Structure 1
Amino acid sequence: MKAHQIPRLFCVADYQKENFYCAAKHQRVQSSLAIREKSSNSFHSMMPPQKPQLKLNEDQSNRTREGFQRVKTDSNMPMPLRNGRNLSITSGVTAILTNKTTFQLPQKAENPQLVNGYKNEIVTYMRDRSSKSNFKMTAFQFQTEITEKMRSILLDWLIDVHHKFKLDPETLFLTISIVNRVLELHQIPKQKFQLYGIAALFIASKYEEVYSVPHVRDLVYVCDNAYPKEEILEAEGKIISLLSFDLLTTSPYRMLNIYQETAKLDQKNFMLCRYLIELSLLEYSMIQYSNNVLASAAIYLVHKIRRIHPSWSQDSMVSITGLNEIDIRTCAKEMCNLLQGQDKKQFNSIRKKFSLPKYLEVSKIRIEKRPSQHLHTLQY
């Protein structure tokens, strides 16, 4: 039997689990590797000799014995292969053949024009899709029990839950987009508003997350057992039915990721742009602006705050966003007012989140506006 055909069996029956789980993490890893190597060695010694299935002449058998060497144990393998994970195929992978010859997988030649063409098409599609706001701004004329303040309270709580679960930023933006769309389509009772909010987070997690989708019991727990699991699943189905299974959407965060290279944003400026965008989530009046405008206005305002000249490049930024400075100035002014009034706001989950070192403490930045100046000539 060939080495790669031998099943990998590990005997841990005589291992003391108490000592194993009490040890430090690096000691547990070393102990596990030692057990695997020991088990593999004992397994090879217990294997009976295998009879060859094909009759070989003396020359072929000698050549076969010289050409093949048995791998000692699987503990010598790289960790991804040992754990059963398949390595991604790259252009630099070298494969070893049975006759000790090697070959190089062909490298794909990248065509810069082709890559730029794909990128431009993607940017154009996303920009056109978000060129206009998808919201009619009539949600609270339609709702009878839900108010703008209740919406802000719910979103502030969802932002905190999202942060506690350590979910992807895109999950937050999709969650709030779902909440806003449902508010325009369905009259929600006041007692069920939190239920629809947590169900929207559950849907967005399934759409965006890979490994971090929260379990339903965790959602029940964060709601303080106000809703059983069956109600959350029922609300999930109701929301998906209302949206006709159409969850595809762009977000200002995704547009910001596209524009940051052109705008030459460093890490702190990018985080400040993201802070401004998330501040806009709690204000219902900001949904009148498209995602393209929100991302562009955040970049424009950060350039003003950081005194980066030009604040809005006609060559680079206008060409990629399709927006002139006059198109984003009103939105940037409202963002500036939100930033200046954060200390007086009742809802502080975003400010608290962006005060952490992980987010470079950008919420601690304070700016003062000179009343005699307009936004496009502000000095911060």
Structure 2
Amino acid sequence: MEISPDKIQENLDSEKMVPASQMERRVLRETQNIQGNPNVDHVTKVKKEKSKEKSFYNVAKNKLTQQIMGKKTKSKSKKSTLFNVLNPEPSAILDDDLLCMDIDMLDPSAKIREMFIKRPDDVVDIYAHLNDQFNCPEYAQEVYCYLQSVERRLTFSDDYLASDPEVTPQMRAILTDWLIQVQVHEELCQQTIHLTVALIDRFLVLKGVKLQLLQLLGITCLFIAAKYVERFPPEVATLCHLTDNSFQPAQVLKLEIHVLKALNFDLNITDPTVFLDRFLEIETNQNKEIAHMSQYLLDLSLTEARFTVYQSSIMAASAMYLSRKLTNIDDPWNPTLAYYSRYSEKDLAACTKAYSKSLLKLPTSKFQGAKNKYNSMTNFDSISNHPALQNKDLLKEIAGEETLIM
């Protein structure tokens, strides 16, 4: 029922004020004596209009508050969920009439979980075995979606070096292959080397560098990435020594400032290793060779500029998919992987072909840094010599497929 302002004011005017003390009677008498004054009449009229507006506002506000805080009796309509391999992201189940006041303040996460995407029946609940505080199962999928949104701004054309007269894809490959060897020598983690290459590519896109300073850019980006990732980053003097003392520490520190300014101090880069760690948590029954082979494929892509067109999550998912396919795992990309990665086999087709072509040309390639790194039996079980990676017939078949749908 709509409440009119005139009705509200009429109710207010009908109320009779009863003086309760001598002071109130005196104020009332003085007010009645000055009613004939025109100036006082004008002031009184303005006050009445303001009081009228304020009273209407308060009544409307109270009514709206009662409607919001009251219990809703009408049924809540919910959207149905659909899921398939080609569209692994199901429809969200949302409350059409949901307001912030509807959330239970004692346990707001319970209401949010109800609103979130509903898991299909054929998808395994990975949070059943990832329920410790470090995995944060309540927020894991939301974090993954955020990282996917961040990575979209980090891709660029594979011919971004075409306009550079000095730094060519071949020179980039030489630098990257050498940096992989530096990573092994300094025992740096996987994320450090991938972040290093990402920083190099971003700086080359934004600013560029002369050929004689390309190696200086490489150790500078490695120094920045190590400080961002490692607990104990290598010393600047050590990195300069690895260049056969071609550069001085002062040059590294000076270029570091230029790199950070060019990147606007934005080091929030999602590299493929972050996504691969997430995918490896999904399938707990697979052996270590899948993890090592996936890491090997990611490192193999560092020397090739054509992989810059792919998002980090697609590169990680494709590496894991190809590893499972080469090792003859049944259903290499099952509904659980498709659901949590939000990619279907069709989405991974192009990147998987690129990995297969890299493996086919590896025996004749000059860049053997990744292969030698993963030839270690102690750290990687000599995964680079795995028989599945030598199966040229299967690799040619995968590289020549138009689609990967079986």
TM-score with structure 1 length normalisation?
Answer: 0.66
1:228 is matched with which residue?
A: 248
Shift of 1:266: 1.9
1:255 is matched with which residue?
A: 275
2:392 is matched with which residue?
A: 368
1:206 is matched with which residue?
A: 227
When residues 372 and 139 of structure 1 are mapped into structure 2, their CA distance, relative to the original with a 3 A threshold, is closer
1:286 is matched with which residue?
A: 307
1:133–1:288 Cα contact (<8 Å) kept: no
One-letter amino acid of the counterpart of residue 121, structure 1: E
Q: Which consecutive residues of structure 2, in runs of 5 or more, have no partner in the other structure?
A: 1-130
Aligned mates of 1:111, 1:302 — CA distance in 2: 28
Shift of 1:221: 0.6
Query: Greater relative contact order (Cα 8 A, min sep 6): structure 1 or 2?
Result: 2
1:1-380 matches, cutoff 5 A: 115-131=136-152, 133-211=154-232, 213-264=233-284, 265-313=286-334, 315-357=335-377, 358-365=379-386, 366-370=390-394, 375=401
Aligned mates of 1:334, 1:162 — CA distance in 2: 24
SS at match of 1:206: helix
SS at match of 2:188: coil
Q: Could you tell which deviates more after superposition, 255-264 or 276-285? A: 255-264
Aligned mates of 1:111, 1:214 — CA distance in 2: 33
Q: Deviations over 1:161-217 (max 9, x none)?
A: 111000111110110000000110112111111111110001111110112x11111
When residues 157 and 372 of structure 1 are mapped into structure 2, their CA distance, relative to the original with a 3 A threshold, is closer
Shift of 1:131: 4.6
Q: Which consecutive residues of structure 1, in runs of 5 or more, have no partner in the other structure?
A: 1-109
Shift of 1:222: 0.5
Shift of 1:318: 1.5
Shift of 1:378: 11
One-letter amino acid of the counterpart of residue 352, structure 1: N
1:138–1:184 Cα contact (<8 Å) kept: no
2:177–2:367 Cα contact (<8 Å) kept: yes
Aligned mates of 2:267, 2:157 — CA distance in 1: 18
Shift of 1:115: 4.1
1:142–1:184 Cα contact (<8 Å) kept: no
Aligned mates of 2:291, 2:145 — CA distance in 1: 22
Shift of 1:232: 1.0
Aligned mates of 1:339, 1:263 — CA distance in 2: 25
Shift of 1:377: 7.0
Number of equivalent positions: 267
Aligned mates of 2:223, 2:235 — CA distance in 1: 9
1:272–1:302 Cα contact (<8 Å) kept: yes
One-letter amino acid of the counterpart of residue 143, structure 1: D
Q: Could you tell which deviates more after superposition, 174-183 or 332-341? A: 332-341
Aligned mates of 1:115, 1:350 — CA distance in 2: 33
Q: Which has the larger radius of gyration?
A: 2
Identity %: 27
Shift of 1:324: 1.1
Shift of 1:138: 4.7
1:271–1:359 Cα contact (<8 Å) kept: yes
Q: Deviations over 1:8-55 (max 9, x none)?
A: xxxxxxxxxxxxxxxxxxxxxxxxxxxxxxxxxxxxxxxxxxxxxxxx
Aligned mates of 1:119, 1:322 — CA distance in 2: 14
- Runs of 4 or more, structure 1, over 6 Å off, are 376-379
Alignment root-mean-square deviation, CA: 2.2
1:133–1:289 Cα contact (<8 Å) kept: no
